[in-house]
């Protein structure tokens, strides 16, 4: 689906682009769960525009950042309104859009603008910083009146850090917005009619996260030669080692780091480690230098903190991973001695990354203290987590997510069924299902993840799981000959969703049930459309029926949404 065709779903937007002034058609009213109805009937004026504007926020994530130029369109022949760069506008945020940006419309024209850190109901003055064919981006200059559901953000970095953009929006409002965004996508991109009597039973209310802070088991911090400071604090800029930074990238900058002493998303023991390192790493006597992404000089690149649990005591255990540009253990020795005294630290490793890129994955890894991996318990199974392993970032909510997946799979439990686990990662989903099936076949493109999956199967004494390395975006005619026809297919792709080759294979395979797990509702809705309705342009017929779609909030205070979808063969 092209970006322009998606934009035509939005009342006013197409007309604003062509200069034609028309009254917007009323948006279709969807049948929503009771939870959503309470929201829509809240009497808040900005909510009346949410449904017709939220499809833009839903559609944009389906387009990769590299394809952003697709927003460009030929200049209209008729006169129309395009804000100029540098112009200031008074705006009201209507809804949350791509990457948590606020979606607004210019008064009297309907022209769409996006503003970072603007929240629904907020009236503000914004300055245009960038304009494209059908939308513009603005930076907030001044808030005139605050948004609805305002709360005090508990994190001191919330106004500048790019990690938790909605901390000052009540959590109830956050999950309502996510639920509504998924529903709009299913209707407009997935082409499922809200007039269908079964629609309300298919769309499930979002599952909120009980733990809204300290839920991440992995955080990656970056070292930099200069702290990033907001404009009002630029006079406090420091030079030399005192100006070094260890923290999170400032939004939109690969080379600017906001210094962070404590992050409310990671565990308390991880914050203890972070604070201990911040106390001493700048000390000139240690001779430590941060990596400079421009000159490619310097030693310290990243600090990765991972939290697990001891399988015997259930207490937290920490892995500390220093990512450096070269192997110089003598330079890290003072830091290792300091943090190894923290009881929860059971592993300190050093990944060596000599490339100029910003990745934290090393070419070689050395153990500086303790063991090479930590453990975590999920759905009654033990998983070993190494420095570069993939593992669900929110362990608590992963328990909820995996229970939903198991329920959707509808396993008989008699050990007779075959499960095909696509994009299996380290095998967490397939292994949790293995106790109730005959065999699990998992496919994953990352070699290290496949190795971890095999190791985790052995660790838990699971012998009925086979994990195979393979690129599911490049499957050939022989794919499917290595395993018997599955009773259930689990598909958990990354943000771009499934390749058309894989969708064609699944439509030909005709497994009785597919459980689609998605971290990107936009591409999820697109793939559900293909699997259920087919692709007319390619003469492909769909053969599945969507039985349920369950949004899950895995990452509070962020725009990310997870979905678990059940499809059954018609």
20-38 confidence digits (pLDDT tens):
333 333 333 333 333 332 3
Residues 364 and 299 in one domain: yes
Known binder of ligand: residue 527?
no
Q: For strand 439-444 and strand 544-552, is the pairing parallel, antiparallel, or unpaired?
A: unpaired
Known binder of ligand: residue 111?
no
Known binder of ligand: residue 492?
yes
If one counts the domains in the chain, the total is: 3
Question: How far, in Å, CA of 11 to CA of 237, rounded?
Answer: 47
CATH of the domain at 346: 2.40.50.1070
Residues 420 and 362 in one domain: no
Residues 371 and 235 in one domain: yes
For residue 2, being part of any structural domain is answered with no
CATH of the domain at 545: 3.40.50.150
Residues 529 and 433 in one domain: yes
Known binder of ligand: residue 423?
yes
Residues of the chain with pLDDT under 70: 1-81, 98, 231-235
CATH of the domain at 128: 2.40.50.140
Torsion angle of C-alpha atoms 67, 69, 70, 76, degrees rounded to 10: 180
DSSP state of 248: E
Question: How far, in Å, CA of 96 to CA of 27, rounded?
Answer: 18
For residue 481, being part of any structural domain is answered with yes
Question: How far, in Å, CA of 186 to CA of 28, rounded?
Answer: 13
For residue 250, being part of any structural domain is answered with yes
CA nearest neighbour of 476 among 504, 497, 516: 504
Which of 125, 150, 175 marks a domain boundary? 150
* Contact between 317 and 330 (Cβ < 8 Å): no
Catalytic: which of 280, 519, 532, 543?
519
Angle at 482 between CA 476 and CA 486, to 5 degrees: 100
- The DSSP line for 106-172 is -TTT--EEEETT--TT-EEEEEEEEE-SSEEEEEEEEEEEPPTTB---SSTTTTT-SS-TTTTB-HH
Residues 423 and 555 in one domain: yes
Residues 496 and 352 in one domain: no
* Contact between 118 and 145 (Cβ < 8 Å): no
Which of 351, 378, 405 marks a domain boundary? 378
| Domain region containing 330 | 218-378
| 3 state DSSP class of 3 | helix
Question: pTM of this prediction?
Answer: 0.81
Residues 230 and 263 in one domain: yes
For residue 102, being part of any structural domain is answered with yes
- The DSSP line for 378-397 is ETTEEEEE-TT----S-HHH
For residue 458, being part of any structural domain is answered with yes
| 554, containing H or E segment | none
* Contact between 491 and 423 (Cβ < 8 Å): yes
Residues 441 and 539 in one domain: yes
For residue 386, being part of any structural domain is answered with no
Residues 273 and 136 in one domain: no
For residue 174, being part of any structural domain is answered with no
Residues 226 and 134 in one domain: no
The chain-wide mean pLDDT, for the chain, equals 85
For residue 115, being part of any structural domain is answered with yes
Whether 532 is a known active-site residue: answer no
* Contact between 422 and 440 (Cβ < 8 Å): no
Per-residue confidence (pLDDT) for residue 407, from 0 to 100: 97
Residues 346 and 452 in one domain: no
Residues 349 and 233 in one domain: yes
Question: How far, in Å, CA of 208 to CA of 175, rounded?
Answer: 7
Question: How far, in Å, CA of 570 to CA of 555, rounded?
Answer: 34
CA nearest neighbour of 39 among 211, 208, 179: 179
Give pLDDT tens digits for 542-552: 999 999 999 99
Cross-strand pairs, 102: 96, 115
CA nearest neighbour of 401 among 565, 520, 527: 565
The total of other beta-carbon atoms located within 10 Å of residue 97's CB is 27
């Amino acid at each position: 689906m092209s970006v322009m065709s998606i934009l035509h779903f939005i009342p006013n937007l197409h007309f604003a682009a062509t200069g034609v002034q028309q009254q917007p058609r009323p948006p279709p009213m969807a049948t929503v769960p009771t939870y959503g109805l309470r929201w829509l009937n809240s009497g808040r004026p900005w909510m009346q525009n949410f449904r017709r504007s939220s499809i833009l926020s839903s559609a944009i994530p389906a387009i990769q950042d590299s394809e952003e130029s697709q927003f460009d369109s030929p200049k209209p022949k008729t006169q129309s309104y395009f804000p100029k760069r540098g112009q200031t506008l008074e705006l009201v945020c209507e809804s949350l859009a791509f990457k948590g940006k606020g979606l607004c419309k210019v008064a009297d024209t309907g022209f769409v603008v996006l503003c970072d850190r603007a929240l629904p109901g907020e009236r503000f003055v914004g300055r245009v910083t960038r304009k494209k064919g059908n939308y513009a981006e603005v930076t907030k200059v001044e808030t005139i009146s605050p948004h609805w559901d305002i709360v005090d953000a508990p994190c001191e970095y919330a106004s500048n850090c790019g990690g938790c953009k909605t901390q000052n929006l009540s959590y109830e409002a956050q999950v309502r917005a996510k639920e509504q965004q998924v529903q709009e996508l299913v209707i407009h991109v997935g082409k499922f009619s809200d007039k269908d009597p079964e629609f309300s039973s298919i769309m499930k209310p979002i599952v909120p996260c009980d733990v809204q802070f300290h839920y991440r088991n992995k955080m990656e911090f970056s070292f930099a030669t200069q702290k990033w400071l907001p404009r009002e604090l630029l006079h406090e800029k420091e030079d030399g080692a005192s100006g070094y930074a260890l923290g999170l990238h400032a939004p939109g900058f690969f080379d600017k780091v906001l210094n962070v002493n404590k992050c409310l998303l990671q565990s308390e023991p991880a914050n203890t480690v972070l604070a201990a390192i911040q106390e001493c790493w700048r000390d000139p006597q240690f001779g430590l230098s941060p990596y400079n992404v421009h000159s490619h000089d310097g030693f310290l690149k990243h600090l990765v903190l991972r939290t697990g649990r001891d399988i015997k005591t259930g207490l937290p255990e920490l892995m500390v991973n220093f990512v450096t540009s070269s192997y110089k253990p003598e330079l890290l020795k003072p830091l290792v001695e300091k943090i190894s005294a923290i009881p929860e630290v059971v592993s300190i490793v050093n990944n060596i990354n000599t490339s100029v890129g910003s990745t934290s994955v090393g070419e070689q890894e050395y153990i500086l203290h303790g063991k090479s991996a930590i453990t975590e318990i999920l759905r009654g199974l033990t998983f070993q987590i190494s420095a570069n392993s993939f593992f669900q970032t929110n362990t608590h909510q992963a328990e909820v997510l995996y229970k939903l997946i198991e329920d959707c799979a509808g396993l008989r439990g008699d050990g007779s069924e075959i499960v095909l686990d696509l994009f299996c990662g380290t095998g967490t989903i397939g292994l949790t299902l293995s106790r109730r099936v005959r065999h699990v076949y998992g496919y994953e493109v990352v070699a290290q993840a496949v190795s971890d999956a095999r190791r985790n199967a052995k660790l838990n004494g699971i012998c009925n799981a086979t994990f195979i390395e393979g690129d599911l975006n490049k499957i050939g005619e022989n794919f499917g000959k290595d395993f018997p026809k599955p009773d259930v297919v689990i598909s958990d792709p990354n943000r771009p969703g499934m390749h058309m080759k894989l969708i064609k294979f699944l439509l030909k395979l005709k497994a009785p049930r597919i459980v689609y797990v998605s971290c990107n509702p936009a591409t999820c809705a697109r793939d559900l459309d293909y699997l259920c309705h087919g692709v007319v342009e390619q003469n492909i017929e769909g053969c599945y029926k969507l039985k349920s779609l369950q949004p899950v909030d895995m990452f509070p205070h962020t725009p990310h949404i997870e979905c678990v979808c059940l499809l059954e063969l018609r």
